Amino acid sequence: MNAMFNISYGLYILTSKDEKMNGCVINALSQVTSTPNRIMIAINKNNYTTEQILKTKKFNVSILNEEANFELIKRFGFSSGKDTNKFEDFQNYEIAENEIPYITQGVNSYISATVVDVRDLGTHYEFLADVDKEEVLNNIPSITYAYYQSNIKPKISSSQQKKVVYICSVCGYVYEGDPLPEDFVCPLCWHDARYFVKSEI
């Protein structure tokens, strides 16, 4: 057991817009100062959302609540915006004042922000951003990653043959095989091997 897995995480949909609207699921978001009101997010360099934010310097974050379902998380967390239009046939969003979408179902609030600094963390970029607008949509509690694992993520049937797998702690992608290569990168959310948890199914 890795002590890092005991750190509490939320789940959020980070949205951006350049040539097209896009979004991805992240778990690294925190308020770092209240005066000025600033937040920090961290996102993998390989994400299409990252490319858009580097260009536009703007993004929205929708905070998932306990009514979020697996299909919503799957839509934004299990594919890449490089080859998928994540907003195709999707109506549960509005356009904020910064002309970037935010999610309206399965979330309790959203934040619009403008990047003021970028730090290279190796596999990820850290974006420091000023909060331009924040709005509470409802009072349904925010989900944690633990809540997602226990209540949202589909359960695997006990009748299936057990085998060793590695599960991405961000998007839920399952790597079959043992051991997990040290240089493995999740093909869905682009997080590296440190974010995978060994499990038996």
CATH number at residue 189: 2.20.28
* Whether residue 64 is found in the same domain as residue 82: yes
For residue 47, give the H/E element and its range: none
Contact 160, 200 (CB under 8 A): no
Length of the chain: 201
Contact 8, 146 (CB under 8 A): yes
* Whether residue 80 is found in the same domain as residue 60: yes
Q: How many domains does the chain have?
A: 2
Q: Which tokens sit at 18?
A: 């350049």
Distance of CA 60 to the CA centre of its chain: 12
| Lateral strand order in the sheet of 196-200 | 174-176, 164-168, 196-200
Q: What percent of the chain stands above pLDDT 90?
A: 64
Beta bridge partners of 60: 15, 112
Give the span between the Cα atoms of 49 and 79, in whole angstroms: 12
By residue range, what is the domain housing residue 166? 154-200
* Whether residue 143 is found in the same domain as residue 112: yes
What does the pLDDT look like over 150-184, one tens digit per residue? 899 887 655 555 688 898 888 888 888 888 888 88
In which residue are the tokens 């897995």 written? 5
What does the pLDDT look like over 5-44, one tens digit per residue? 677 889 999 999 998 999 999 999 999 999 999 999 999 9
Q: Is the pLDDT of residue 63 over 90?
A: yes
* Whether residue 82 is found in the same domain as residue 116: yes
Q: Which tokens sit at 3?
A: 């002590």
Peptide bond into 181 cis (omega under 30): no
> What is the DSSP-derived secondary structure letter of residue 143?
P
Contact 108, 139 (CB under 8 A): yes
The pLDDT score that the predictor gives to residue 139 is 97
* Whether residue 22 is found in the same domain as residue 96: yes
Q: Which of 174, 173, 168, 164 is nearest to 193 (CA)?
A: 168
